[in-house]
Each structure stands twice: as structure tokens, then as C-alpha cells.
Amino acid sequence: MASLKEVKERIKSVSSTQQITKAMKMVAAAKLRRAQDRTVQLRPYSEKLSALLANVSSGNSDAGFDTYAVEREVKKVLIVPVTSDRGLCGAFNTNIFKAVRAMMQTNNLSDRDVEILPIGRKSYDFFRKKGFTVIDNYYEVFGDLTFDNVREAAEFAMEGFVNENYDRVVLVYNEFKNVATQIVRTEQFLPIQEIAPEAGEATTNTDYIYEPSKTFIIEELIPKSLKIQFYKAVLESNASEHGARMTAMGKATDNAGELLKELKLTYNRTRQAAITKEILEIVGGAEALASS
């Protein structure tokens, strides 16, 4: 049985840890609120723009539309895994790494067929250590998360596709659902895919009227909308990260509380045993004196 001093030191250590995890949970909750607001505000606009973009691109055979919608034989793939800069957020980052491996296996891609554009330090560190070809210019965007910083990473992926450096660009990120739930998404960023109609939804051929001109839409709207989709994925991951960290730190705080209860019970039992032992020794000594 551990001594009273050891149990007391253990209680002190667990109490300190509980205070830290509780503080981290509160910080994550505050950051989550801001990140969630940004994500929720952008989501409807992004989804509608994405649907419009896919429909317009699929209904046109102009060279400009084919710039981002052309299907080529897949020889080189750029994967954009979006993770966090720090840990202590449960399986948040591990799920992304597993999703990348699963996607590669499904598409029969080897490490040589893939280049990684990491978003987040954890993603950069993981894939660099695994020996992948890693583009290391944009992984620190969470240090100053703005559209302009994310736009640079999106432009790199888009230019790589247009220049045929990559035949496909895939985003892998956590979509925010609620504090306790994050859904891993593997989405094809390029080439642009036509959105299939939902079950029971009738297909219609839409004859679009382009204002101010079709050329303007090709050259301006489509690239901008692609950057918005990229930015949305990063915002979704950012909100998911804070939700995952809040949940993980909440569980850690609760576990520390349960452990403290057990340690205090052990401490009381140990102290009681020590007191009982001392009483028995005193009684035994008194009886020995009396008999002598």
C-alpha cells in the first residue's frame, strides 16, 4: 500500500492537472464560439455557390470552363489534409491521417503518386516524417486565419492543376457538426464535379443567361468560388478543432475528478490504518508495562 505522503502528492498532482484541463476547456469554448459563427455564416453561401459552379461548368464545353473541369488520367494527386497546429484534441488529427491513407488505398495510389499540401503543423510534421513530398509554404495559416492567407494555398493548388502538375486535387478535413461530433470529409476540389440530383429530384437543363458576359464568369467567378470552397474547408476544420479540444478537455477534467475521489478514499483508508496501527501499538505497550 502507498504511503500517506505518496498519496497526498498524487492528489496534489491530479488536482493541478484538473485545473489545467478545465482552463483549456474554457479557452476552447470561447474560441469555438467565434469559429462556429464564421463557419455557419459562410456555409450557406459556399454551398449555394458550389452547386451553381458545378451546374454551370457541367453545362458548358467552353475551354475556360474546361480549365477547371477537365478530367485527365490520374497520374499525380495533390492531397490537402487540414489538421490543427496543436494536439490535445482527441482523435481529431489521427482521423485525418487515416482518411488520407484510406483514400490512397481506395484509388490505388502509392506515395510517389501523391504530393501533400498540409494545412496545420500537425499535418506537416506527420507527412514529412512519413517521407511524402510536402509543400511547406502554407501550413501555418492558422497563426493568422484570414481569407487572404488561405487564398494563397488555394491558388497554388489551382495553378498546379491548370499547369497539369496535378491531375486531381483532394481536400481532407473535419466538418463541424456540433461540439461532440466532427465528420471527416474527403472532397474532390479539382476537377470540378457535376452535382448529381438527389433521389426523387427531377433533372432539368438550365439555359443560363450570363451577365455581364460568359468570359467574365469564366475568368473571375469560377476561380473566386473555388477559393471560397477551399476557405470553407479550413474554417470547418478550425471550428471542429476547438469543438474536439473542448470535448477532450471536458472528458479529461471529469476523469481527473473521478481519480481524485478514488485517491481521497485511498488516503482516508491509509490514514485510518495508520491510526489504528498506532493505537494497537500504544495498547500493546501499556499492557506490557502493566504485566511487568
**Residues designated catalytic:** 89
Among 148, 154, 177, which residue's Cα sits nearest to residue 240?
177
**Other Cβ atoms closer than 10 A to 227:** 19
Sign of the Cα pseudo-torsion (45, 50, 53, 58, in order): negative
Residue pair 227/153 in contact by the 8 Å Cβ criterion: no
Residue pair 53/146 in contact by the 8 Å Cβ criterion: no
How distant, in Å, are the alpha carbons of 29, 53, 151, 192, 233 from that of 78?
33, 21, 16, 14, 16
Residue pair 111/265 in contact by the 8 Å Cβ criterion: no
Q: How far apart are the first and last CA of the chain?
A: 35
Rounded distance, CA 203 to CA 281, Å? Answer: 91
Among 89, 74, 277, 266, which residue's Cα sits nearest to residue 174?
89
Rounded distance, CA 142 to CA 129, Å? Answer: 21
Q: Which residues pair with 178 in a beta bridge?
A: 181
Rounded distance, CA 117 to CA 100, Å? Answer: 12
